[in-house]
Structure formats: C-alpha cells, structure tokens
Amino acid sequence: MSVIVEKTFIVPGYQLAAKHWQRSGIPTIALHGWLDNAATFDLLAPLLPACDLLSLDLAGHGRSDHKPLGTHYYLVDHVIDVMNVADAMGWQQFTLLGHSMGAAIAGLVAAALPDRVQQLILIDGLGPLSSPPEKAAHLLKESVAQAIAHHTKKMPHYVEISDAVRARAEGLNKLTLAAAEMLCQRGLKSLPEGGYTWSTDPRLRHTSAMRFTEPQVLNLLSEIQCRCLLVQAKDSIFNDFSETGFAERIQQLREVVHHIAPGSHHLHLEAEHVAHVAELINQWI
C-alpha cells in the first residue's frame, strides 16, 4: 500500500516538484520524457510495489519552476538536479526509471556517478540524441535564431482543457486521448483572461546549441556500471534510429536485458500495454 504525496525540492536557482508513491521499497527516481511531466508514470507507478517511487517534474516541466532567464536547458544540467534531489531524499544509492529523454538523463547520471545508481530501468530510450560533427554550425545557428526570436512567440491559448488534450494527443509523439489527459492535468496553467496554456517553459522547444556525437554517447554508455533493463516500444519513434544505433549502444552496456514490447513511444502510459511493461520490470527487479 502506498501513500501519494506531492513534494518540492530547492535546487540552486529554482524549485522542483515531484509526485511520491511513498512505500517501503527500492528508492527509485522516475524521469519523464521531453515536454511531459511526472504524471507520465501515473499508470505504471501503482503497478511497481517493490519501488518507493519519486516521479520528478524536470526543470521547466509540469509544476517545477522555469529556469531563470538567461540560462539554458542543457541535458547534462538535469544530472545535477537529479543528484540534488537524491541527496535531499537521503538516498545514497537508488534506482533510476526513465522514459525517452528521462532515460537519456538516467544513463548520464549512471555514467557520471556509478557508485550511486544501483540499476537502470529505461523505457524506449537509451542515451541522448547525437549529431555528427559536421552539423555543429547548423545547430548553433538554429539555436541562436530561436533564442533571439523567443520574445516574439506567443503561447497557445485553449478555451477548454479538452482542446489542450486534443492538441497534446495530436502532437509530435502521438498519444491516446486518455494518456494526453493525464499529462495535461499536470501540464496546464490557467490564464488570467480565462482559458489555459502549457505550464511547460517554451524555451524547452529550442534546438540544442550543441549535442554529443555518437562516439561520445557510446563512451558515456560504456561507463555505466550497473545492471540495466531496456524496454523498447515495438512502434517506437526511434525505430529508424535504433536499427542503426541502438544495437551498438546496447553493446556498450555491461549487463542488460532488452525487451521489445507492444505499444508506441508512450507504451507505459497506454492502458492496454502498461500491465505488460510493469510485468517486465517486476520480473527483472
């Protein structure tokens, strides 16, 4: 039996929010994907009774603060936030559960601090997106242009929550309406003039000024010491990438169990597939 409580953590410069399925079990920090929030684990967390599970709203997402103006959302900065949260929880060693971008961050934490991370549970993600060296100038130009134009952009306005739910379901990574509704419950804010918009910091949509190269990603993955479970979606958005890159990435891990499970990129948030994802995790744990 778990008790669900909301938590906040003060880290340098801002405050992070989290949803804690509090119970006797393995200390586990859960990390959501890009533009999602802690609610992404609302269906999965109750099915993982062995985990004392803290689902974090990463900076700029959900109910966490936006980073101060003039700062950036670099992937590696989330590593420090995760460690600050673990320290605040008093967890010297812990498990990381990550989906998509959250899986990439989890791998970076494990590579940077192998003595702290006991095991990794990765859902449809393994390592950060990479870019070839010859794309460096293009990325920089695009990122700078977006930063300059940022103040001219207006946030979308939705009259009803159902309008936002439909927009989220039809976005970049397709979602069922039920899954989109769960994310929207934590990912919207009311507007003074009425209606709703996203609580997510719009700067998160900016192109990264620089990315790891694939050899750098492989090196980082090779530094992970703990055991890993990778649950890859059969209809993943990464399928094209994984045919050329995931196989080599998996080879860098010292101890890994790899499953390809039915469902799309958010299979852990799909009612028809979440029980299977939970079964794979529970058996592995």
pLDDT in tens, 36-82: 999 999 999 999 999 999 999 999 999 999 999 888 899 999 999 99
Average pLDDT, the chain: 93
Where are the chain's structural domains?
Answer: 3-132+212-284
Q: In this predicted model, what pLDDT tens digit does every residue of 72-87 receive, in sequence order?
A: 899 999 999 999 999 9
CB 29 within 8 A of CB 65: no
Alpha helices per DSSP H over 44-176: 77-89, 101-112, 136-149, 161-169
Which residues are tagged catalytic?
Answer: 100
Quote the pLDDT of residue 240: 59
Quote the pLDDT of residue 135: 92
In this prediction the pTM is 0.95
Give the pLDDT band of residue 241 (cuts 50, 70, 90).
low
CATH superfamily of 3-132+212-284: Alpha/Beta hydrolase fold, catalytic domain (3.40.50.1820)
Q: Is the pLDDT of residue 245 over 70?
A: no
Task: Give the residue from 56, 58, 51, 48 showing the smallest Cα distance to 28.
Answer: 51
Q: In this predicted model, what pLDDT tens digit does every residue of 149-181 receive, in sequence order?
A: 877 778 899 999 999 999 999 887 789 999 999
257/156 Cα distance (integer angstroms): 41
Task: Give the residue from 102, 97, 96, 113 showing the smallest Cα distance to 224.
Answer: 113
